[in-house]
Structure 1
Amino acid sequence: MSKKSDNYYFKNFVICAEYGEEAARMLERNLKEFDVTHLSERLDEIHGIEHAADQKKHEMLAALVKEFITPIEREDIILLSEAIDEVTDTIEDVMIRLYINNIRMIRPDAEAFAHLITRCCKTLSRLMEEFKNFKKSKKLYGLMVELHTLEGEGDRLFIQAMRRLHTEGSDSLEVIVWREIYIYLEKCCDACEHTANAAERVILKNT
């Protein structure tokens, strides 16, 4: 297999991870500068990112069907591409929940969560940039540990946010709605960690 063909898959992993990072930055900006009158428009914008990421994933899988030899096993390419795609999907899910629940104002814990998600996605992008060197890289393990650490921060933030919601919230509907949103915010961090876990499994399998 040519080096150019090898790089195609590794490059696409990076591009798909960058879509997730773009979606995360948009989510963070939207929560920080929240404007309910533009929420539908912002949802369309983040859906556009998610759609572009899907297109890139399907393009890669279509190419995979035609390849005779691949740089890593086919099922590993599928595993990683689906894991990366899930990151962007979960970020879009947060925006969808804000929209369908007609959120009028953003709780501070949600802003903190969005910032953490951006950090997770940025680290994931760096991990995917380094992934092409997985057989000899000295940076990959540290990036995986960093993602696990960030996900742990997400767990703690989730617990704190849910505690505040249930001790300080006086409106039962608000509690129900924000419980769901916090769950989806945590899923974003989990999706990044799951991608790191998938990458680790692929590395162990192919070295």
Structure 2
Amino acid sequence: MRFRLRPSDNSFYEFFSRAAQNLVTGTELLAELILPGADIQAISERLVEVEHDSDAITHDLYQKINSTFIAPFDREDIYRLGSNLDDVMDHLEAVGSLVYLYGLTKMPALPREMHEMVDVLDRQARVTADAMPRLKGLKDLEDYWVECNRLENEGDRAYRMLLVRLFSGEYDALTVLKMKEVVEELELACDSFERVANTVETIAVKES
């Protein structure tokens, strides 16, 4: 029988859960942002606030690692998971800022595929937030990373179709350039969610 000495301090898991809940807030704000008639400036500013809170959570997590003698699992994996969660939030905030700064919501309608990508991100955020509290027991996590990876594939399909639409001649060249930058950030957010799931899978395998 393998014996593992684990700390009773639950703060690591709380950091991960708080960071993941911020991602749910972030995707909810993005969904509001791309709706007709949205208060784009207020929503964009709120996204910046959530991103700053996520940065603070990551900073506190790193401080906790450096001041803790016994970590719940490999320190490298703790750093990686915290960093990956923060990366997702950075990309979500970038989407909000670009949509606002480029004035894209002044268009008659944003492409349907953009709404589909935001929907994928929202579902990834929710399964991630649901999984983080289960890290402590390292149980019932496989369905999470399988679903998150499946959603990433779904996001890839929407991304490719959106690129096809952007270069179909439907939009003028300047609009294409602006929207492509936003689309790339959406794709990076989707990929970052998958990296979070892959890190959780690595932790589960190591600790099993």
Q: Distance in 2 between matches of 1:204 and 1:76?
A: 12
Question: What does residue range 154-173 of structure 1 map to in structure 2 within 5 Å?
Answer: 154-173=155-174
Offset of residue 181 of structure 1: 1.4
Letter in 1 for 2:50: I
CA RMSD of aligned residues (A): 1.6
Q: Distance in 2 between matches of 1:64 and 1:3?
A: 12
Cα offsets for 1:37-69 (capped at 9, x unmatched): x32222111111111111112112112211111
TM-score by length of 2: 0.90
Extract unaligned runs of 5+ from structure 1: none
Runs of 4+, deviation exceeding 6 Å: none
Q: Does structure 1 retain, via aligned residues, the 8 Å contact 2:7–2:71?
A: no
The answer to whether residue 20 in structure 2 is matched with residue 58 in structure 1 is: no
Q: Does structure 1 retain, via aligned residues, the 8 Å contact 2:111–2:162?
A: no
1:140–1:2 distance in 2 versus 1, CA, 3 Å: closer
Partner of 1:108: 112
1:170–1:48 distance in 2 versus 1, CA, 3 Å: closer
Offset of residue 2 of structure 1: 6.8
Question: What does residue range 23-102 of structure 1 map to in structure 2 within 5 Å?
Answer: 23-35=26-38, 38-102=39-103
Offset of residue 3 of structure 1: 5.1
Aligned residue pairs total 201
Extract unaligned runs of 5+ from structure 2: none
Q: Distance in 1 between matches of 2:116 and 2:46?
A: 22
Identity of paired residues, percent?
Answer: 25
Partner of 2:134: 130
Offset of residue 34 of structure 1: 4.4
TM-score by length of 1: 0.90
